Amino acid sequence: MAVLPLTLEPGLTDIDVFGVYEALCDLWGLSIAARATLMDIPERTYYRWRETSKQIHLSADQRARVSYLVNIHLDLYALFDDEEQARKWMTRPSPAHAGQSPIDVLLHGNTPTHGTLIPIFELSRSIRRLAV
């Protein structure tokens, strides 16, 4: 049975969730193109969301994507002693991903949906359990 990620607080608005997503993307040093790809939207839509946050309307799938990414982030921070190691795990090539970084797997998989998010989430969750 797959472990489900923690959900984002139900009271968070789409603007709040997008702000969390932006913070994670900033931390991982993602380009606008990468950010748009992970949210499965055109870059122009992503730019519009950044410029006018009142126009942000996230789908349930997009909220779930952010939830998975937040949980991966939390797993990594629980696992590693310093923030730099946790940040680099997402951007460093990994033998678990055939030499690609987890971010590359998310960006260049068939689609950056649950099909690629879940295995990376489950790997981070498994690594965290082994370390405890």
Establish if 67 belongs to a structural domain: yes
The CB density around residue 45, as the number of other CB atoms within 10 Å, is: 14
pLDDT-based confidence at 125, cuts 50/70/90? low
How many percent of the chain have pLDDT more than 90?
Answer: 20
Number of structural domains the chain divides into? 1
Question: Would you state the pLDDT for residue 89?
Answer: 83
Write out pLDDT tens, residues 47-85. Answer: 999 998 778 999 988 988 888 888 888 888 888 878 888
Name the residue among 114, 116, 115, 95 with its Cα closest to residue 106: 116
Establish if 94 belongs to a structural domain: yes
More confident residue, 15 or 127: 15
Establish if 37 belongs to a structural domain: yes
Q: What is the DSSP string of 69-124?
A: HHHHHHHHHHH-SSHHHHHHHHHS--GGGTT--HHHHHHHSSSSSHHHHHHHHHHH
Establish if 2 belongs to a structural domain: no
Establish if 3 belongs to a structural domain: no
Residue 73 has phi, psi (to 5 degrees) of -60, -45
Q: Show the domain range for 113.
A: 14-131
